[in-house]
Amino acid sequence: MAKITGRESAGQLPPKVVRLYGAVIELIEEGADIGSMKVSQITERAGIGKGTAYDYFDTREEIIVYALMFFMEEAARNLEQEIWEKETFSRRIELFMDSIDRQAEKGACLLCLVNLVFEASDLGQLFRKLLNEHRKEEACLLSSLERRIVEKGIADGEIRKDLPVAYMAYILMAKIVAYALYTVHHQAVDKKSAQGEAIFLKTEIPCEEFRRYILGGILEEFQAE
């Protein structure tokens, strides 16, 4: 039986793997810590034997990271059609941020993804490795979408064309990640505050204002000459 690589689309995945991925996402949304999440927890939620998981994956980390990567790619796939219905570069970026707002409202999956970008854990290292491999192979839909948004903006004369597309796509990604970081942190602070918990790092800027800064920064840097 072929092992899962983390590059498969929804149609390429065996039903049992889809159930494993769904179990990971459900557990995360219920508050489970991915650092201590066990394979037995995942397989029990998925309704399959623990040994079956190792038919498809070599490690616990693969199950969790591949599930989150699949979640991210599916979110990008759902966003893609909406993106091209927007007529301007600015509106496409706003839709990207709308999507982040929606995912942040759902809960912990977006926070996990953002944290994995920076974590030194085995999970974080595997996530970054897989993400880089996807980018090199141009198989990461999210990265591809950001690049195509930049290319469309250049073609339409909305944004500058004197900078490399790859550079502009990375800048766009960095600012979108910054918005995601602030959004999930802001929601976490609001939740702790409502529960009367101690807050060590407050968010002093309302999300709506921070959003304007991010969008304004992108448009200013990418402004056509």
Mean of per-residue pLDDT scores for the chain: 83
- Dump pLDDT digits (tens) for 107-159: 677 778 777 877 888 898 988 888 777 666 555 666 788 889 999 999 999 99
Of the candidates 21, 11, 100, the residue with the CA atom closest to the CA atom of residue 63: 21
Q: What is the pTM of this model?
A: 0.74
pLDDT of residue 56: 94
Tens digits of residue pLDDT in 15-52: 999 999 999 999 998 888 898 999 999 999 999 998 99
Q: Average of pLDDT values for 171-194?
A: 74
Instruction: Count the Cβ atoms, other than its own, within 10 Å of residue 56.
Output: 18
pLDDT at 128 (0 to 100): 85
138 burial via Cβ count (<10 Å: 0-12, 13-18, 19+): exposed
Q: Which residues pair with 223 in a beta bridge?
A: 159
For residue 192, is pLDDT > 60?
no
